[in-house]
Amino acid sequence: MTLLQDSPATRKPPGLLAATLVVLRKDLLIEWRTRARLNALVFFAISTLLLFSFALGANTTALRQHAAGYFWLAIIFASILSLSESFRIEGENHALEGLKLAAIDARAVFIGKALGNTVLLWGLGIVLAPLSIAVFDLKVKMSLWALFGIIGIGSMAISAAGTFYSAIASNARARDVLLPILLFPVLVPVIISSVGATALIFEGDPMGQMRSWTGMLGVLNVIYWALGLVLFPRITEDI
């Protein structure tokens, strides 16, 4: 009787929260052990940030005015490296098929992978923030914690949309080209909101516009995460 209850055939699949934590832990553990993607992200983002500063030369006024835009463009461009690898590992090792056989909820795969990408991008943003302040000679008029919060909210929106489109492009031959083509137009509102909020942190907020930008980022997060939860299970059927 005990053997029958503990057999794989009678074992209940894990719940949504438990399965999400398993997927998140797996992705973070793989990244921590290899650190290949993390190193590439940091190096590419720093190089992109420095290229923007070199392109404008000694024009410090222009650098300060557009520093928030350069900061988020560096994160967006680097995110493509992270997101494109998100499902490549699953495809090469047939791990996604294993998750399907284990009756893991597809929504748990989406949430776990999106949260893993969020952690990577948020950490990248924290690394880039002091570098941007030094390179662009910025003064933080508001709290650094506010900046880290904006980075976190923006990273969540990028990761939700990026994980969704990464799954769509995972089976395409030109997936590295297809992903940015699909993703960048969707992220335009995220870039505008994130840049607007970040610029206020550096320049001050005398008109009280921060609430509007953060509210827009919150709405975009709700939309992207909700659509991902609804549509992702259909996508995984064809992967």
Asked which of 6-10, 16-20, 45-49 is least confident by mean pLDDT, the reply is 6-10
Collapsing DSSP states into helix, strand and coil, what is residue 147? helix
Structure-block tokens of residue 205: 């907020």
What mean pLDDT comes out for the span 109-114? 90
41-91 confidence digits (pLDDT tens):
888 899 988 888 887 766 677 778 888 999 999 999 988 888 877 777 666
pLDDT at residue 94 is higher than 50: yes
pLDDT in tens, 135-192: 888 888 888 889 999 999 999 999 999 999 988 887 767 677 888 898 999 999 999 9
pLDDT band at 7 (very low <50, low <70, confident <90, very high): very low
Q: Whole-angstrom Cα distance, residue 192 to residue 187?
A: 9
SS3 letters across 79-102: HHHHHHHHCHHHHHCCHHHHHHHC
Question: Tens of pLDDT along 207-233?
Answer: 888 999 999 999 999 999 999 999 888
Average pLDDT, the chain: 83
Instruction: Evaluate if residue 28 carries a pLDDT over 80.
Output: yes
CA 124 to chain centroid, in Å, comes to 10
Q: Which two tokens stand for residue 10?
A: 């009678």
Q: What is the pLDDT of residue 54?
A: 83
Q: If you write DSSP's letter for every residue of 152-196 in order, what string do you get?
A: HHHHHHHHHHHHHHHHHHTTSTTHHHHHHHHHHHHTHHHHHHHHH
What's the average model confidence in pLDDT over 11-36? 78
